[in-house]
Amino acid sequence: MRYGHHVVEPGTGMKWHVLRLLWPYFLEFRTRVFLALACLLLAKFASISIPFFLKDIIDTLDSSKATPNVLITIPLGLVAAYGAVRFLNVLLNEFRDTLFGRVTERTIRRISLQTFQHLHRLDLDFHLDRKTGGLSRDLERGTTGINFLMRFMVFNIVPTLVEVLLVVGLLFYNYGIAFAAITLISVILYVTYSILATEWRTRFLREVNEADSATHSRAVDSLLNYETVKYFTNENYEAERYDQELATWEQAKRKNRLTLFALNSGQAMIIAVAMTSMLALAAIRTANGIMTIGDFVLINAFMMQLFIPLNFLGFVYREIKGSLANIEKIFALLKRKSNINDCDDATTLQANQGSITFNNVSFQYQTQRSILTDISFTVAPGSKVAVVGESGSGKSTLVKLLFRFYDPSQGNISIDGHNIINVTQNSLRRAIGIVPQDTVLFNNSILENVRYGRPNASDEDVANAIRMAHLDRFIEDLPNGTGTIVGERGLKLSGGEKQRVAIARAILKRPPILVFDEATSSLDSKSEQAILKAMKEITEGYTSLVIAHRLSTIIDADKIIVLDRGRVVEQGNHIELLSTNATYAKLWRIQQEENHDL
């Protein structure tokens, strides 16, 4: 399934099995559904009775020219009854919509929440492959599809079919087989043409939706990378790419519009021929005295009542088909399994000491490419262990494995002697705080971004975390203080400021284990020293694992693990590793020379 595009598979029919998936949501409000259907049926009977009132009013007026009393009383009574029935019809439809609206809204709410929660449960691989813009459009179409299907399927298609059968039966009973046959044949031709033409149009609609999703994805991707676009002065390049997508969309819309013209024209011709035939036959019989003027008006009213809802059949059929496909996408997404799951007997991790052990851990994203091989080391409770190595040596992969975004291909990882595969993911991640290399903030205030570390924390706890992260002086200089909005992904803050927010979050979380994933690699020297000071203060008494690029930031570590091409090649503290004059010493000399050149 591609989450960047809306696809209705060619050649596939209506996906009626989706209705079975929605059935449990109907059952939750079975009383409301029953009452709504009752209102629907009563409204339909009222609607069918309206032409008969018109017939009686006209026939009474036509035959009462010589009797003033009858002229006044009977027609006025029929007019009053006609008005009452028409009002009742509208009122019943309003009751129906009000009753069923709650069912539709609650179903959309339940499925939307369920999908949102499920997306957060899916593994990292899914979210790395997804196209955010296209996925959001698919979810939007899915919820819109539920709304459309539940309203139009129940309140348009089914009632219209019921009405067609009732009208055909009434015409046959009152006026003979000719009127009933013309009505039935015209409805069958209309429905058949609408379905065939809509099937033909499906591929053009699919092209529009694909172009729409591609255009949306392109815009979202470009805006999310606004700074990169500016760095490389590629505004025109991005505009050209966006315009290319828009040109494809425009072409698809033009084809879709022309095919819609063909559909509407064919439908209009069938309606015109049917109504002309019916009215011509009624006019002949009225002129011959077989039928009254009221009968003529009744037949015209019936035809209008039938073809007004049928006029939307092509649109409704297409939208229902699209809705079923869109809803199926949501349920297919809900059926998608994560590669990382809690085992059946998973326990809650109680990380009291916070020791970490990597035991012969190997990992590969693809079978052809090994990332880590036989990694073994221990982080003692309360100690600071650093992992260093060249780019691509697998340092950050260790963090992903520790958080169980992936499982090792071989070996195991344990915290306080508990294999992390045997504990719940929720309790595992609660036990670990992280300051990532790239801190992404929510488009909210600084206060709420810090509070995200522990959403139920008091303002006092948040303020304390801000002070410990040395973020308070910066906040004091802001006009809105902690209420300052940081912008999308925190773009209004500098790298150092975002890192301090991340540290404040970790402090507020208060986990027994702290992880710093190259937390200072992108900072200037002044910001780096401030962050290092904050890190040193908050790690005292905590187990900390530091992924480092700059070796000068981890010389105080109790143990340093040196990785090279996914293997541990050295272990020891700073002095010990320098004395061996091996990989670590070589990296140290290179960085010292770079610093000296600066």
Give the percent of the chain with pLDDT over 70.
86
Together in a domain, 83 and 138: yes
* Residues 544-573, mean pLDDT to the nearest whole number: 88
146 lies in the same domain as 90? yes
The pair of structure tokens assigned to 70 is: 């009858």
Residues 138, 144, 147, 148, Cα dihedral to 10°: -100
Does the residue 477 lie in any domain? yes
Q: Which domain holds residue 575?
A: 344-431+512-598
Do 408 and 457 fall within a single domain?
Answer: no
Residue 266 located in a structural domain: yes
Final residue before a domain boundary, out of 510, 538, 553: 510
Cα atoms found within 13 Å of the Cα of residue 200, Cβ hemisphere only: 14
Sequence-separated (6 or more) residues with CB below 8 Å from residue 28: 103, 106
Q: What type of residue is 442?
A: F
**How many domains does the chain divide into?**
3
263 vs 386: which has the higher pLDDT: 386
Average pLDDT over residues 550-567: 88
Question: Is 150 within 8 Å of 104 (Cβ atoms)?
Answer: yes
pLDDT for residue 420: 92
DSSP state of 337: P
- Check residue 9 and give its pLDDT: 40
Pairing, β 567-572 against β 559-564: antiparallel
Contact call for residues 407 and 341 (beta carbons, < 8 A): no
Q: Please state, as a whole number, how many other Cβ atoms lie within 10 Å of the Cβ of residue 202.
A: 19
Residue 550 lies in a domain: yes
Residues 88, 53: Cα–Cα separation, whole Å: 14
Judge whether 1 lies within some domain. Answer: no
Say whether both 351 and 397 belong to one domain.
Answer: yes
In a domain, 129, yes or no: yes
Q: Is residue 8 part of a domain?
A: no
Mean pLDDT of the chain: 80
**What does the pLDDT read at residue 569?**
92
CATH number reported for the structural domain that contains residue 391 in this entry: 3.40.50.300
Q: What is the pLDDT of residue 357?
A: 93
Q: How far apart are CA 149 and CA 128, in angstroms?
A: 32
pLDDT of 598 higher than 80: no
**369 lies in the same domain as 503:** no
pLDDT of res. 301: 80
User: From its phi and psi, is residue 523 left (phi > 0), alpha (psi between -120 and 50) or beta?
Assistant: beta
SS3 call for 110: helix
Residue 6: predicted pLDDT? 37
Percent of residues, the chain, with pLDDT higher than 90: 11
pLDDT at 409 over 50: yes
Number of Cβ atoms within 10 Å of the Cβ of 156: 17
**How much is the average pLDDT of 288-313?**
78
The answer as to whether 4 is a domain residue is: no
Residue range 2-26: mean pLDDT, rounded: 56
DSSP annotation of 168 reads H
- The 10s digit of each residue's pLDDT in 69-102 is 555 555 566 667 767 777 887 888 788 778 777 7
Looking at the predicted structure, is the pLDDT value of residue 120 above 90? no
**pTM listed for this prediction:** 0.64
Q: Is the pLDDT of residue 200 over 70?
A: yes
| CA distances to 207, 248, 256, 293, 312 from 215, in Å | 12, 9, 17, 58, 29
Between the CA atoms of 537, 538, 542 and 546, what dihedral angle is there, to the nearest 10 degrees?
-90
CB contact set of 124 (below 8 Å; sequence gap of 6+) = 340, 400, 405, 406
Query: Which residues touch 541 (CB under 8 Å, ≥6 apart)?
Result: 382
* Alpha-carbon span 538 to 459, nearest angstrom: 19
Instruction: Assess whether pLDDT exceeds 70 at residue 189.
Output: yes
Same domain, 230 and 205: yes
Segment 473-478 shows an average pLDDT of 84
Yes or no: say if 378 and 406 are a contact pair by the CB < 8 Å rule: no
The mean pLDDT value for 564-582 works out to 90
Q: How far is CA 366 from CA 126, 339, 372, 415, 451, in A?
A: 15, 14, 12, 27, 38
Long-range CB contacts for residues 264-271, cutoff 8 Å, separation at least 24: 264/314, 266/193, 266/197, 267/190, 267/193, 267/194, 267/311, 267/313, 267/314, 270/186, 270/189, 270/190, 270/193, 271/186, 271/190, 271/307, 271/310, 271/311
Cβ–Cβ contacts within 10 Å for residue 456, how many?
A: 6
Give the range among 148-157, 222-231, 393-402, 547-556 with minimum mean pLDDT. 148-157
Looking at the structure, tell me whether residues 61 and 202 fall in a common domain.
yes
Contacts with 185 (C-beta within 8 Å, 6 or more apart), sequence order? none
Cα–Cα distance between 285 and 302 in angstroms, integer?
17
At which of 335, 358, 391 does a domain end?
A: 335
H/E segment holding residue 277? helix 235-287
Residues 353 and 445 in one domain: no
- Checking if the pLDDT of 11 tops 50, the result is no
Are the CB atoms for 466 and 475 separated by under 8 Å?
A: yes
The number of helices, as runs of H, and strands, as runs of E, in the chain is: 20, 10
Residues 354 and 231 in one domain: no
Q: Is residue 296 part of a domain?
A: yes
The answer to whether residues 438 and 493 touch, using CB atoms and an 8 Å cutoff, is no
- Could you tell me if 478 and 351 lie in one domain? no
**pLDDT 10s digits, 18-44:** 677 777 777 777 788 788 778 877 877
Confidence of residue 361 (pLDDT cuts 50, 70, 90): very high
For residue 369, give the H/E element and its range: strand 369-379
Name the token pair of 180: 């009933």
Flag whether pLDDT at 497 surpasses 70: yes
Q: Are residues 106 and 212 in the same domain?
A: yes
Residue 321: strand, helix, or coil: helix
Rounded distance between C-alpha atoms, residue 317 and residue 307, angstroms: 15
How far is it, in rounded angstroms, from Cα 299 to Cα 526? 88
> Does residue 296 sit in the same domain as residue 358?
no
Given a contact cutoff of 8 angstroms between Cβ atoms, the answer to whether 508 and 450 are in contact is: yes
User: What are the distances in angstroms from CA 471 to CA 38, 282, 288?
Assistant: 63, 86, 96
Top mean pLDDT of 384-388, 440-444, 464-468 is at: 384-388
Q: Report in angstroms the alpha-carbon separations of 196 from 16, 314, 562, 586.
A: 18, 9, 67, 73
CATH number, residue 42: 1.20.1560.10
Tell me, what's the pLDDT at 476? Answer: 86
Which amino acid belongs to residue 344? D
Confidence of residue 528 (pLDDT cuts 50, 70, 90): low
Q: Give the confidence band of 597 by pLDDT, cuts at 50, 70, 90.
A: low
Predicted confidence (pLDDT) at residue 132 exceeds the cutoff of 70: no
State the pLDDT at residue 1.
39
Q: According to the model, what pLDDT value does residue 511 have?
A: 86
Range in 146-155, 255-264, 270-279, 381-390 the model is least confident about: 146-155
| CA 492 to centroid of chain Cα atoms | 27
Boundary-marking domain end, from 510, 529, 554: 510
